[in-house]
Amino acid sequence: MSENSVFRFAGATGVGSMPGGDAREAVKTVIGSFEDFPYLPELPARGPGADMIGRTAGMLVELYARVEPSGWRIGDRPGRDTRRARGWLREDLDALEEFTQGYEGDLKVQAVGPWTLAAALELRGGEAALSDPGACRDLAASLAEGLRLHLAEVRRRVPGARVLLQLDEPSLTAVLRGQVRTASGYRTHRAVDRQLVEHTLRDVIGAHPDGPVAVHSCAPDVPFALLRRAGADAVSFDFALLTERDDDVIGEAVEAGTRLFAGVVPGTDGPLSDPAGSVMGVRTLWRRLGLHPGLLAEAVTLTPACGLAGASPAYARRALAQCVQAARSLADNPE
């Protein structure tokens, strides 16, 4: 775990994606919602290159990807799709810089982690990079270097910010369990050794030695202990998918100083409970773990359950506001 393993962040932030295609409007909404812990929004509705895989593929160093009917495929040289992905990201960073003039505080940026990227990016033959250990190594190294450059650019544009890197790993559990399907769809790739998964994650997390790193997964059975050993300072997850089987590893994570980014607000349109109702499950978990209520505000940041790309703009704004109000409720009344 990095030197940032014990840190305090605001009580609420977002996950990453937002609806729509207007970067300035999205950044303005995020900055207005989270004065203490904004993030760089992603807008996949703009099309290929703005999606999570294409956006991160555009950050890779000396590896390039293009869009095929089956998805993103590694190619020999940068083409139109790489240029588009990098252009969208520049547009997002321009908007972020515009609306964060003079900002000093915490700021979160997101990129796809090495194992979800390996499960999604295809090799030349059409099979996932996950099928080739050498390709996985090259991909992780390219990603780490690309993240170093991206983080340096963010710090240049928002010099007063302390930047948290979030690695999105929704496919991590499937990678560990051998549940990622082959190109034919009839078989699955063999499970990747847990030590290799941990080692690779540690290397990529090491691309941000001067700031904290969170790993996000909105899939069931998030491997909390593995992520903590790999050096993650925080774990971001869909709170509704927790079961009592997770109690021990969550308790150990909290006691070790790992922050929990608990997704308590639904990511798609629907009725919202009152803010206190959104955190009822968090309070129940805390009591079940026997943890001191006063630790809640120090250990938990509230977020939507996952990204908000599938939500309406009006609901996305309400969901972000609900996170802030629920965090205030938790801080005011941890019992």
pLDDT score recorded for residue 250: 92
CA 115/CA 139 separation, integer angstroms: 9
Joined tokens for residue 229: 């050993």
CA 178/CA 119 separation, integer angstroms: 11
Residue 19: closest CA among 318, 219, 320, 316 = 316
Helix (H, G, I), strand (E, B) or coil at 300: strand
Joined tokens for residue 162: 């302390």
Domain ranges across the chain: 23-45+95-332
Beta-bridged to residue 66, according to DSSP, are 73
CATH of domain 23-45+95-332: 3.20.20.210
Element (H, E) at 175: helix 172-177
Q: What is the signed CA dihedral for 69, 72, 74, 76, rounded to 10 degrees?
A: 70
Instruction: Give me the residue label for tokens 């593995």.
Output: 226
Q: pLDDT for 63-117, tens place per residue? A: 999 999 999 999 888 899 999 999 999 999 999 999 999 999 999 999 999 999 9
Q: pLDDT for 234-258, tens place per residue? A: 999 999 999 888 999 999 999 999 9
Question: Who contacts 318 (Cβ-Cβ below 8 Å, separation ≥6)?
Answer: 272
